[in-house]
Structure 1
Amino acid sequence: MPVGRVLITGGRGMVGRNLQEHLLAAQWEVLAPSSADLDLRDYQAVADYVAAVRPDLVIHGAGRVGGIQANIAHPVAFLEENLAIGRNIIMGARQAGVRHFLNLGSTCIYPAGHDDPLTEDMILTGALEPTNEGYAIAKIAALRLCQYIRREDAGAQYKTLIPCNLYGPYDKFDPAHSHLVPAVIHKVAEAKRLGLDEVEIWGDGTARREFLYAGDLADAVWRAAADMEKLPDVMNVGLGQDHSINEYYAATAEVVGWQGRFTHDLSRPVGMKRKLSSVARLEAWGWQAPTNLKDGIAQTYSFYLKKAGS
């Protein structure tokens, strides 16, 4: 028998699919409606749906997402749509009497320009990175709303996990919409397929990023779902270590088997110089990511090849 019914928003995206394919998902009755089945931008539709299915837990992973190019080009949509989506599912769940809610945030909510690891108490203490400010504001609003609900009702387990950057199976590999690791996989794989001897890197490649394998996030989420009461109200989920962009390209080239050279376009935007999350709360909670970078890239590249061949 399942331990309960869980509603996953964003169930057709990378995080949602990895959640559903994780072994611990089998312990739950999982509902993961598509955007065609449930428009999260429509408050009444969301409220009616949650009231009808009455989940024991909501895992909120839906949202409009994209890389630097998409965020720069469409700031209105990234702010407005994500504000609506977060507000609608959180308040719809509260109205329906849902007592357990896991909100998935993003490290883009932290102030820009910090070289030291980002701790959870740094939220709203400084200016955001301009290239994805709209998305970050929406994510901060959802996090605060969960905190305010707990302030009014301490028994309501509305809590937020803040994953670092993610990659993995079901990622978006289109350069117009992808984040760093899937974009790198696509670029290097295309260079190998086309017989190119050169791949361009935006910036000088020294900016550092922390990327967590999506299957590892799924593991942390399901473990959190099993014991919401002991989970901190806000907690980073990351590696506590990062790599330079040049290192991501080098690791991907090794996995793909491409032996060309890299060039750098210094005129391109690169975002924050460094963004590393503190994992002190995560370690105290008793969890660490099991997948290393090369294994994660290899599994993601395998998915990429299957997708390209389908």
Structure 2
Amino acid sequence: MSRRGTLLLTGGNGMVGSNIREHPRAADWTILAPSSRDLDLTDATATAAYLQAEKPDIVIHAAGKVGGIQANMANPVDFLDINTTIGRNVIMGARAANVPHLINLASTCIYPRAAPGPLAEEAVLTGPLEPTNEGYALAKIMALRLCQYIRTETPDLLYKTLIPCNLYGRHDSFDAATSHMVPAVIAKLHEAQMTGHDTVDIWGDGTARREFMYAGDLADAVLRAAADMDALPDLMNVGVGHDHSVTDYYRAAAEVVDWQGTFAHDLSKPTGMKQKLCDTSRQQAWGWAPQTDLRAGMAATYQFFLERQSS
């Protein structure tokens, strides 16, 4: 029998959800993680009925349509519509079922494009968003604000939002058309290694700076938060507190993959925001920091990639 109660995890088969489920602290909970076949979160009636029937002690909302710059630019309607619909259905369904605790996962793409770094939580909605992922960002802002409004109207409902920086890790997507940068880079360099190519392209000039965190570390933060919702701030960044250039990530991946070639910069491709670095002041005050450095995280992610390739 679980020590802490029942936890409903949306997106339980995605990267974040899978890392939460395999974390040691997951054993403290009875976890419900219905697949999209079992529960269509775009169906408001079905979602509300599920929450009413199961009455979980907490919801962790990690479901959504995700992807990198290329996918966001190609499908802005889906990134806005699907994520808005899912967020609304889960949060309002939990409220209707009087679920006492909810952790909503947002993304640093919600910050204005020109917001000064490091990105502090107070900067949300203070300026225009990055155009390449605006639809996804708008949907995440809606969910964040909905949680805040519910908390204002009903203080006993602890509906709070974590804002993770960019993520990578086990259970990631390595599809070049839909994946985020780090898994895409790992897959690209692995292919170059296997095919003997000695040059790999980098989108843009490689100077844009990004903060990437290993997904297993986010799982650790989420499950710690779930165990003590009173101590968790209503809105909090979750990050590593430092960043690297895009070229640095390519170099780190090349080391892990053992590829010895050179990089060429494709200046015709977009690079997105020049820098996205979280202000981790609230996280530090909360008393948490990620434990996986870039080299170890890259190695674990590449190992997962190889296991998936061989299966």
Query: TM-score scaled by structure 2?
Result: 0.99
Q: Is the 8 A contact 1:113 1:274 kept in 2?
A: no
Question: What's the offset of the Cα at 1:195?
Answer: 1.0
CA apart distance, 1:61: 0.4
The answer for unaligned runs of 5 or more in structure 1 is none
**Counterpart in the other structure of 2:186:** 185
Q: Could you give the per-residue CA deviations for residues 156-200 of structure 1, whole angstroms, max 9, x where no partner exists? A: 100000000000011010100000000000001110011111111
Whether the 8 Å contact between 2:114 and 2:127 is mirrored in structure 1 is: no
Q: Does 1:154 align with 2:125?
A: no
Question: What does residue range 101-112 of structure 1 map to in structure 2 within 5 Å?
Answer: 101-112=102-113
Alignment-derived partner of residue 176 in structure 1: 177
Aligned-partner Cα distance in 2 for 1:216–1:116? 22
Give the corresponding residue for 1:121.
122
RMSD, matched Cα: 0.6
| Residues 238-269 of structure 1 deviation map (CA, whole Å, 9 limit, x = unaligned) | 01100000000000001111101111100001
Equivalent runs, 1:263-278 vs 2, <5 Å: 263-278=264-279
Structure 1's consecutive aligned runs of 4 or more residues displaced over 4 angstroms after TM superposition are none
1:237 Cα shift?
Answer: 0.2
1:1-310 matches, within 5 Å, as 1-2=1-2, 3-310=4-311
Distance 1:116 1:46 in 2: 38
Amino-acid identity (%): 64
Distance 2:110 2:262 in 1: 35
Asked if 1 retains the 8 angstrom alpha-carbon contact of 2:165 and 2:212, the reply is yes
Deviation at 1:115, TM superposition (A): 4.7
What CA distance in whole angstroms lies between the structure 2 residues aligned with 1:269 and 1:115? 21
Cα offset, 1:155, TM superposition: 1.2
Where in structure 2 are there 5+ consecutive unaligned residues?
A: none
CA shift for structure 1 position 114: 3.5
Task: Determine the C-alpha separation between the residues in 2 that align with 1:116 and 1:72.
Answer: 24
Alignment partner of 1:132: what SS? Answer: helix
Q: For the residues of structure 1 that align with 2:125 and 2:116, how far apart are their CA atoms? A: 17
Letter in 1 for 2:112: P
Indicate if the aligned counterparts of 2:205 and 2:265 stay in contact, CA closer than 8 A.
yes
Q: Which amino acid aligns with 1:204?
A: D
Partner Cα distance (2:198, 2:114) in 1: 35
Mapped to 1, the partners of 2:116 and 2:275 lie a distance apart of 6
In 2, distance between residues paired with 1:102 and 1:261?
43
CA distance in 1, matches of 2:77, 2:253: 33
Q: 2:230 and 2:211 mapped to 1: Cα distance?
A: 28
Helix, strand or coil at the partner of 1:228: coil
Does the aligned pair in 2 maintain the 1:167–1:212 contact within 8 Å? Answer: yes
Paired positions, count: 310
Quote the offset at 1:116 in angstroms.
1.6
2-structure distance, mates of 1:19, 1:274: 28
State whether residues 115 and 123 of structure 2, in contact with CA within 8 Å, keep that contact through their aligned partners in structure 1.
no
CA contact (8 A) 1:114 1:275 kept: no
**Deviation of 1:113 (Å):** 2.5
AA aligned opposite 2:244 = H
| Per-residue CA distance 1:97-146 (angstroms, 9 max, x = gap) | 10000000000000003352000000000000000001000000000000
User: Separation in 2 of the partners of 1:249 and 1:115?
Assistant: 26
Q: 1:122 to 1:115 in 2, by over 3 A?
A: closer
Deviation digits for residues 60-86 of structure 1 (CA, Å, limit 9, x no counterpart): 000011111111111111101111000
Q: How far apart, in 1, do the equivalents of 2:22 and 2:15 lie?
A: 11
Contact 1:114 1:274 in 2 (8 A): no
